[in-house]
Structure 1
Amino acid sequence: MANKNTANIMQQASTRTPLAKTLLAAAVALGIGSAGAVMAQDKPSVNVATDPSFVPFEMLDSETDEMIGFDMDIINEVAKRAGFEVNLTTMKFSGIIPAVQTGSQEIAIAGTTITEKRAKVVDFSDPYYDSGLRLIVREDNDDIETVEDLEGKSVATKIGSTSYDYLTEKLGDSADITPYPGTSDMYMALLGRNVDAAFYDAPNVAYFAQTQGDGRAKVLGPLYEGQQYGIVFHKGSQWLEPTNDALAAMKEDGTYDEIYTKWFGESPDAE
């Protein structure tokens, strides 16, 4: 219909004066531009939550004041392919599952481990990252090598994390387990000698050891609790299936490997 109307207008313009032709052409161009703007606005905006302190998955760029990281690149690429705009909100990790569960946030991406307990209240995408838990101590600490050595000692972890669940199940009251609201608090407690060790997700522990903790902290022991991260969805979300399709396509065409290499230095197959 729009093309027919446009043709009629241009046909009418051919019988008008040069000024009339110019005005009609401008009106047609404006109409086409407005239609394009409307089409661009048709892409729905979806509420997405993340935790701003889980480097290198999500962190605040102090220069641009924008969230960057592995997860941010993943969700932005997924959104582009699935057909939605990301309306990003940051919050503490402990509040993310409840926010998605209640529907105030439709999606969350925050290095969230897929567990049976969480899957009862939210939906998960297909796994997009393989992880686990690692132990980190100060460089001068030779008393701790494994989680078993934490008995009678103090250890920091993060509130609401699977690492906290693992420690409480494994050690119970035999260790002083302190959950912190953010990873930066947890690592500050370690370096400040407020705790003997910290225990958390392997990629975050490794990143800290290579950056702020370089020369001051060391990663020990095996990889505990092989885990997989998934993107979190409100139960029954219409965006779950398009997201899984997007993730599969990203892995197929090499986009996932490019993002992974950008943040971790090598593709997952090379590890």
Structure 2
Amino acid sequence: MKSLISCLALAVAVTFSGLSQAENLPDLKGRTIVAVTENAYTPLNFVDPTTGEGIGWEYDAMNEIARRLNAKVDWQLSSWDTMIQGVKQGQYDIGMDGITINAERAQQIDFSIPYMTSQQFMLVRADETRFDDAKSFAANKDLQFGAQPGTTNFYVAVYDVLDGNEDNPRITLLETFGASVQALKTGDVDSVLMDATSARGYIGANPGAFKIVGGPLGTEDFGFILTPGSDLRQPINAAIMSMQKDGTMDALNQKWFFDYNQHH
């Protein structure tokens, strides 16, 4: 989920919806693409509190990809724990939820080229003073992570911060990413790992509630997932590359990681 997130300040504020195609792209002749997300990963995909509709970076990106390819998007919702299987079985054509490209998942589904590169950071309450990095967190056995099972956030907590034991009782498992952040806010857990994009989103949406401590705990590429062997992979890759070349990705970053946070 573009250049590194740390470089987003260089993003140009252009209107992405009106940008012309950088090159000739495949024509899908009005085909409907069934896309699935979770609506629980601000600012990539979440529910607009005023309209109840799904919005976010990934919605805008996928809608623009479809526009460039002369296709329509049929948006569906799925929980994280069933999304990959649903795409694998062809229930959906394409899935997105800040999904990290890795070898294990690539055995089950196809990935697009990366549309975003991110790093994991420790989000904590703004008044936290007991630790200031991963090492001091790991050293204090009273401290708890909140994490959604099977996610990059969970695995980084296990292998990059704690002892490599996936059953470590210092990780409180929660059903959604948003629930992990709420548990942090209420003091039920002491840190949630997330990419810098989402961390900025939550900090911006909750002034004075959160902060980031320590440095990055790894770099990951986000990709769309597709049914194995999908004929959509190459057209979608071509559209992503055209959006990277003509500034559309930078404009999306500006809209969702800066402008949105400043007004919410």
| TM-score normalised by L of structure 2 | 0.80
Contact 2:148 2:180 in 1 (8 A): yes
Contact 2:111 2:225 in 1 (8 A): yes
1:18-76 deviation per Cα after TM superposition (whole angstroms, max 9, x unaligned): xxxxxxxxxxxxxxxxxxxxxxxx62222111010111111112333321111111000
Secondary structure at the aligned position of 1:133 is classed as strand
1:121-143 deviation per Cα after TM superposition (whole angstroms, max 9, x unaligned): 11111111110111011222211
1:175 offset after TM fit, Å?
5.6
Give the match for residue 224 of structure 2.
231
Contact 1:209 1:217 in 2 (8 A): yes
Sequence identity percentage: 27
Which has the higher mean CA deviation after the structures are superposed, 181-190 or 234-243?
Answer: 181-190
Whole-angstrom distance in 1 between the partners of 2:230 and 2:153: 28
Whole-angstrom distance in 2 between the partners of 1:149 and 1:161: 23
Contact 1:158 1:200 in 2 (8 A): no
Whole-angstrom distance in 2 between the partners of 1:244 and 1:58: 20
1:245 offset after TM fit, Å?
0.7
Tell me whether 1:143 sits opposite 2:130 in the alignment.
yes
Greater relative CO (CA pairs within 8 A, separation 6+)? 2
The match for 1:68 among 23, 32, 55 is: 55
Structure 1: 4+ residue segments shifted above 6 A: none
- The gaps in structure 2 that reach 5 residues or longer are 1-28, 260-264
1:240 offset after TM fit, Å?
0.5
1:149 offset after TM fit, Å?
2.5
Secondary structure at the aligned position of 1:194 is classed as coil
Give the match for residue 218 of structure 1.
211
Give the match for residue 89 of structure 2.
102
Tell me whether 1:208 sits opposite 2:202 in the alignment.
yes
Q: Name the amino acid aligned to 1:165.
A: Y
The match for 1:156 among 146, 154, 158 is: 146
Give the match for residue 86 of structure 1.
73
Secondary structure at the aligned position of 2:220 is classed as strand
Secondary structure at the aligned position of 2:114 is classed as coil
Larger Rg: 1
Whole-angstrom distance in 2 between the partners of 1:257 and 1:193: 35
Q: Which has the higher helix share?
A: 1
The match for 1:192 among 158, 182, 186 is: 186
Q: Name the amino acid aligned to 2:53.
A: E
Give the match for residue 250 of structure 1.
243
Q: Name the amino acid aligned to 1:253.
A: D
Taking a change above 3 Å as real, the CA distance of residues 125 and 155 of structure 1, as seen in their structure-2 partners, is: same
1:59-102 deviation per Cα after TM superposition (whole angstroms, max 9, x unaligned): 11233332111111100011111232111111222221111112
Q: Name the amino acid aligned to 2:253.
A: Y
The match for 2:100 among 110, 113, 120 is: 113
Q: Name the amino acid aligned to 2:57.
A: F
Secondary structure at the aligned position of 2:146 is classed as strand
Tell me whether 1:177 sits opposite 2:171 in the alignment.
yes
Q: Which has the higher strand share?
A: 1
Which has the higher mean CA deviation after the structures are superposed, 224-233 or 182-191?
Answer: 182-191
